[in-house]
Chains A and B, each alone.
Chain A
Amino acid sequence: MKKKVLTVDDSRTIRNMLLVTLNNAGFETIQAEDGVEGLEVLEDCNPDVIVTDINMPRLDGFGFIEGVRRNEKYRAIPILVLTTESDAEKKNRARQAGATGWIVKPFDPTKLIDAIERVTA
């Protein structure tokens, strides 16, 4: 069965890149545009892994991750954060919020798939 990935990002460009990359790599992809939508979609889509941005309107990545972890069903789902290299502080905060790992921008398809493979069985 295809692995299912939920991506949460407010940038249309990045959403499209994630979609193309993940579909090409044989994943099923579900997309949300911000943390609020991500939490709404989560319950029904039952993903195997989540990829989320940090800077988003309405509910940012930190809040989103905390929301996911509060959900009994998803408290141990792998969550990868899209972040920038220089952001050690942000990485740390994401981790504290419960992120599993991160994908360092600029967006690179190989790195993305690698990271997903790393955190999923």
Chain B
Amino acid sequence: MDMNEIKEIFFQECEEQLAELESGLLRLNDGDRDPETVNAVFRAVHSIKGGAGAFGLDDLVSFAHVFETTLDCVRSGRLEPNQDVLKVMLKSADVLADLTNCARDGGSVDEARSKQLIRELEALAHGEMPSHAEAPAAKPVAAPKAAAPAAPAAPVANDQGFVPVAFSFDDFGDDMPVESVLPAYEVIFKPKADLYRKGNEATLLLRDLSRLGEMSIYCNMDALPSLEELQPENAYFTWRAVIKTDKGEDAVRAVFEFAEWDCDLEIKALEEDNGEQSDDESPMTPVPFDLSALFDEPEPPVGLVEEEERIAASEAEAAAAASNVVQLPGTKAADSAKSAPAAPAAAAAAAASAAAAAPAAQTIRVDLDRVDRLINLVGELVINQAMLSQSVIENDTNGTSSINMGLEELQQLTREIQDSVMAIRAQPVKPVFQRMARTVREIADITGKSVRLVTEGENTEVDKTVIDKLAEPLTHMIRNAVDHGLEMPEKRVALGKNPEGTVRLTAKHRSGRIIIELADDGQGINRERVRQKAIDNDLIAADANLSDEEIDNLIFHAGFSTAEKVSDLSGRGVGMDVVKRSIQALGGRISIQSKPGHGSVFTLSLPLTLAVLDGMVVTVANQTLVVPLTAIVETLQPEANSIHSFGANQRLISIRNSFCPLVDVGKILNFRYQAANPVEGVALLVESEGGGQRALMVDAIQGQRQVVIKSLEANYTHVPGIAAATILGDGRVALILDVDAVVAASRGQPLRHENALAAFG
């Protein structure tokens, strides 16, 4: 694993944390005051900040830091997470998401917006607490048993009872010749028992000190009591070290960074002093202390005879220090851990790695490519199984052999494998729904409307590709719902409605498809205005007699927009026609139900996967083609008297008193030069771009079938008018028709290469 992969993991994790953050904030918004919710929210931001710091993503870090500080105020109870506070926080979560995306994909964020939010966050943090310094030390965080109330950082040493010893070496050895030009420092270091309790170790500290330069060390053992009184875990020695180093006093001090609370420490620069001279007034016993012997391992202890009794008696620091020259790292104070026999330790290690891995086994992360490969293979399996069945049926005349039974079971198994594999790719729609929450917030802000988004069935699962392509159309629909659907708060009050509008987003499974509903409790579609607009835009005749439903469906026409003033949001040249197109590209359908004064419901019905497709298998000029079922409105057998010709070779078919252009698929695709006789074929009535209907002429219908989609681009090259390919049971390749491209071609636009259905790419 290299840093780039870890970075990738970081961004994945960011997405999860951002989702966690948002859902946590929304729960708080709904009045949840569980401390764990606040903690989870805090952790999410904290984690993002931590990872971002490691990758040097400074913008992300600084924003996350401010955010975290404010969240900490909430966590510690200093800031009440009311609606106003949460509004700022939700917006901040959005900016954090932007910054994350930016860090991953490049691009820029709205700096003014993030600066503004930083100010708001800081105002919240400071508004509730006069200054950071006065923050109460003991925070009600979820830590069990904070040992003692935390003292403010700086004066800690004093709290610990450390009284600096007035101890001057300034005047000794003034007259001694200077041995080295390097500055020398004297360190007086008296460990306390606590130092060892926290896993620190005097000898290690002295070793680190010795690495700074040339060091001589002295040990004062005067405090060492007699054997009877000796407490093995107490600390009795005072060390005096003189170190010559060019690294400066800070470096010397830094050695004791971890230990400074748990020892008496004095560091001072020695001027003009080689420091080797022992001080008569200070009761330091000069002891030759060979640190290298201490740490260069297999050096056996060279115990001093007269000290041996003491060594035997004292386990802790006493031992390490009293023997001075002696004692390997193994004698570390209270380091009983290391005295454990080595063999069981090794055995335990194996068990430990297993134990470490075990709790995480609930989910695994798999590269999407691998899943796709599996799906492809299963697709092959399905095709192969179909081919096998077909050839058995063709060769097995009695049809009752055991081969047939086996084949049926194989078919069953294959189908189950296919379903299970598809389920691997299935993901809950939750992330998309959560993004919609942000969309609602933004547009509510801009329009000045008050909106509540209610989501249901967020855990409904659908294929990942569908999810990825769902966000955009849903965003437009939500914008439209808030912008056009909901009334302004004053108007809602006047109408006796809750001033806060509700947009309800629901997902559920129904008969092998996912149904997504978007309902608002706004004013519903203004049919009079839609109708007028359609007449103005020449979409319908002024005297057209349309049902309510037909009027409602006019909003799906290209270029249709009823908003009198093109607002910032809906007016991006994206209308409901584009939404409808992208839903259709996903193999889905969209419908609308509207009740004036009560709101509108948009219903999307989507396939659970894009890897298979419900298609109608047809024959055109002896070629087998598949037409996506979602595009087909109805099929009919043209009669001679319903076919009307006009122009050079244009034909229309009359269906229930309206005319519909007849398109010969074989001719468009250049399978034949002359259009076939419509009476001998079948017409597929399809709905295409802009809602216009066309009758596609094919020679015959073979039946409906679920087919596995194979990309043509990946295996061959793009073919105009063809969206993708599939392999049929007899092993032959059948092309899947790109209905929109064919219809466009029938209007005289030549089939273009870029006209492929993106969904099948």
Contacts and interface: CB of A to CB of B under 8 A. Distances in A.
B127 interface: no
Interface in A65-95: 66, 69, 72-79, 82, 84, 88-89, 91-93, 95
B40 A57 contact: yes
Contacts of A72: 336
B349 A98 contact: no
A17 interface: yes
Interface residues of B, number: 73
Contacts of B359: 33, 37, 40
Given A66-B145, A79-B199, A119-B200, A93 B356 contact: no
Interface in A8-29: 10-14, 16-17, 19-20, 28
A17 B6 contact: yes
B362 to A, nearest CB: 12
A12 B50 contact: no
Contacts of B633: none
A88 B43 contact: no
Contacts of A51: none
- Most B C-beta atoms less than 10 A away, residue of A76, A82, A97, A100: A76
Contact of B258 (A17, A62, A76, A102): A102
Contacts of A107: 50, 53-54
Interface string B138-156: 0001111111101111101
A44 B336 CA distance: 15
Nearest to A1: B342
Contacts of A19: 1
Nearest to B147: A96
B75 to A, nearest CB: 10
A48 B349 CA distance: 12
Contact of A57 (B39, B201, B203): B39
Contacts, number: 185
Interface in B341-357: 342, 345, 348-349, 351-353, 355-356
B334 A106 contact: no
B43 A56 contact: yes
Contacts of B135: 89
A96 B150 contact: yes
Nearest to B352: A45
Interface string B177-209: 000000000000000000011111101100010
Contact of B150 (A16, A69, A89): A89
Given A11-B13, A13-B13, A55-B42, A76 B50 contact: no
Contacts of B172: none
B352 A44 contact: yes
Contacts of A62: 141, 143-144, 146
Interface in B529-572: none
B18 to A, nearest CB: 14
- Most B C-beta atoms less than 10 A away, residue of A1, A62, A105, A118: A118
B141 A60 contact: yes
A121 B9 CA distance: 34
B261 interface: yes
Contacts of A99: 198-199
B355 A121 contact: no
Interface string B192-232: 00001111110110001000000000000000000000000
Interface in B105-162: 135, 137, 141-148, 150-154, 156
A100 B200 contact: yes
Contact of B137 (A28, A74, A75, A89): A89
A11 B295 CA distance: 35
Contact of A14 (B2, B50, B197): B50
Interface in B287-336: 295, 329, 332-336
Contacts of B427: none
Contacts of A95: 198, 261
Interface in A30-45: 30-33, 37, 40-41, 44-45
Given A41-B352, A91-B153, A119-B199, A16 B1 contact: yes
A66 B144 contact: yes
A102 to B, nearest CB: 7
B337 interface: yes
A73 B336 contact: yes
Contact of A121 (B2, B12, B42, B295): B295
Nearest to B54: A107
Given A73-B336, A107-B53, A119 B1 contact: no
B204 A119 contact: yes
Given A57-B40, A92-B151, A44 B146 contact: no
Contact of B335 (A10, A32, A45, A76): A76
B340 interface: yes
Contacts of B53: 105-107
B696 interface: no
B153 A10 contact: no
Contact of A45 (B43, B147, B257, B353): B353
A101 B40 CA distance: 26
- Most B C-beta atoms less than 10 A away, residue of A13, A56, A99, A120: A13
Contacts of A100: 198-200, 258
A96 B534 CA distance: 75
Contacts of A119: 199-201, 204, 258
A118 B199 CA distance: 11
Interface string B39-59: 110110011011111101000
Contacts of B43: 10, 55-57
Contacts of A66: 144-145, 147
A98 B200 contact: no
A76 B141 contact: no
Given A46-B337, A121-B295, A76 B348 contact: no
Contact of B197 (A11, A46, A69): A69
A23 B295 CA distance: 23
B740 to A, nearest CB: 43
Interface string B637-669: 000000000000000000000000000000000
A63 B143 contact: yes
B10 interface: yes
Contact of A13 (B54, B145, B257, B360): B54
- Most B C-beta atoms less than 10 A away, residue of A20, A41, A48, A121: A121
A76 B9 contact: no
B586 interface: no
B153 A96 contact: no
Given A16-B1, A41-B352, A41-B355, A96 B146 contact: yes
Nearest to B208: A118
Contact of B156 (A13, A32, A69, A92): A92
B686 interface: no
Contacts of B150: 89, 92-93, 96
11 contacts: A37-B356, A44-B351, A45-B355, A57-B36, A76-B199, A76-B336, A77-B199, A89-B137, A96-B146, A100-B258, A106-B52
Given A69-B197, A119-B258, 9 more contacts: A28-B349, A37-B356, A44-B352, A46-B352, A48-B338, A57-B39, A60-B143, A84-B49, A100-B198
Interface of A: 1, 4, 10-14, 16-17, 19-20, 28, 30-33, 37, 40-41, 44-46, 48, 55-57, 59-60, 62-63, 66, 69, 72-79, 82, 84, 88-89, 91-93, 95-102, 105-108, 118-121
Please give me the 4 A-B residue pairs with the lowest Cβ-Cβ distance, nearest first. A106-B53, A121-B329, A45-B352, A88-B153
